[in-house]
């Protein structure tokens, strides 16, 4: 049961790596596995068996998410934007009470923690807003530039590791988003391999930084994460119409909100 559940989580985490406005890290947070994932990756060989049991279905699901589920979700986002986005908004908002609970676990609430939340909320909104602007200004031909692809993968890892920072906006700013999507659809290893090398290098470095922050500034870091997550909700909001599609969107929001509230219980079961 845990294998299947983690596999399904992995598919959404993988899909989040290619969907504009969605971050893989946000899914890790709302599924309640963010801290565990960071520690399992960085301490892989300290408890190899248990870490592999946890990471393997996530990694397998992530691969399926990138290759298959991302295309399906992209179709849903394009064809049925209101119901699909309300579903994701419900999922994210349903996880917020649990996030505040975790943020306040160590020392309780401090008013100045809200500064971190507000700053990352605004930063997350700014980053995603750039996605509608950057493709008009950047068009880099880098198909054969392996060092540039490694460089891009390094910075792309920020969007994978940091919740609420979309990998797609980073790739767009580097002129690589279309190249990346085409490489995934055609399984072009000449593009994906150097990107993957950069992601591994950057991912390790930024995971180390996140681990340090969680260990030494747990509450502040979690409030910053909540700010990023809330920023993604504002960007996802598609508007609302009082029609059949709107009512269906409300129903999906309610169901996904309830699911979001239950993720912690599923994770601990």
Q: What is the pLDDT of residues 88-145, one digit of tens each?
A: 888 888 878 878 887 887 677 888 899 999 998 888 777 666 655 655 455 455 445 7
Contact present, 222 and 116 (Cβ < 8 Å) = no
Strands (E), the chain: none
Look at 50-59, 137-146, 184-193 and tell me which has the smallest mean pLDDT. 137-146
Query: How many structural domains compose the chain?
Result: 1
Question: How confident is residue 260, by pLDDT bands cut at 50, 70 and 90?
Answer: confident
The answer to whether the CB of 232 falls within 8 A of the CB of 23 is: yes
Tell me what the pLDDT averaged over the chain comes to.
80
Q: How far apart are CA 237 and CA 239, in angstroms?
A: 6
Cα distance between residue 222 and residue 102, in whole Å: 8
Identify the domain containing residue 244 by its residue range.
2-268
* 147 pLDDT more than 60: yes
Q: What is the pLDDT of residue 114?
A: 92
User: Over 80: is that where the pLDDT of 24 sits?
Assistant: no
Stronger pLDDT, 121 or 169, i.e. the higher one: 121
In this prediction the pTM is 0.70
Q: For the chain, what is the largest distance between any 2 Cα atoms, rounded to a whole number of angstroms?
A: 55
User: Residue 263's closest CA among 23, 40, 26?
Assistant: 26
């Amino acid at each position: 049961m845990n294998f299947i559940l983690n596999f399904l989580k992995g598919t959404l985490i993988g899909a989040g790596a290619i969907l504009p406005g969605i971050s893989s890290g946000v899914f890790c947070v709302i599924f309640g596995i963010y801290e565990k994932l960071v520690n399992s990756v960085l301490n892989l060989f300290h408890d190899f068996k248990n870490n592999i049991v946890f990471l393997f279905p996530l990694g397998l699901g992530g691969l399926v998410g990138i290759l298959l589920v991302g295309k399906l979700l992209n179709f849903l986002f394009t064809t049925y934007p209101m119901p699909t986005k309300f579903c994701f908004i419900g999922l994210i908002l349903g996880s917020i009470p649990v996030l505040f609970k975790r943020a306040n676990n160590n020392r309780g609430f401090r008013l100045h923690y809200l500064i971190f939340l507000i700053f990352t909320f605004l930063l997350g909104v700014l980053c995603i807003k750039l996605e509608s602007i950057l493709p008009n200004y950047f068009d880099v031909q880098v198909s054969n530039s392996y060092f540039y692809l490694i460089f891009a993968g390094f910075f792309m890892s920020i969007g994978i590791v940091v919740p609420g920072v979309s990998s797609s906006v980073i790739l767009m700013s580097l002129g690589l988003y279309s190249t990346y999507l085409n490489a995934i659809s055609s399984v072009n290893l000449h593009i994906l391999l150097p990107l993957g090398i950069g992601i591994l290098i950057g991912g390790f470095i930024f995971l180390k930084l996140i681990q340090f922050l969680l260990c030494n500034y747990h509450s502040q870091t979690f409030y910053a994460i909540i700010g990023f997550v809330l920023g993604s909700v504002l960007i996802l909001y598609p508007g609302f119409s009082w029609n059949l599609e709107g009512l269906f969107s409300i129903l999906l929001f309610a169901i996904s909100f309830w699911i979001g509230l239950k993720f912690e219980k599923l994770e601990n079961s």
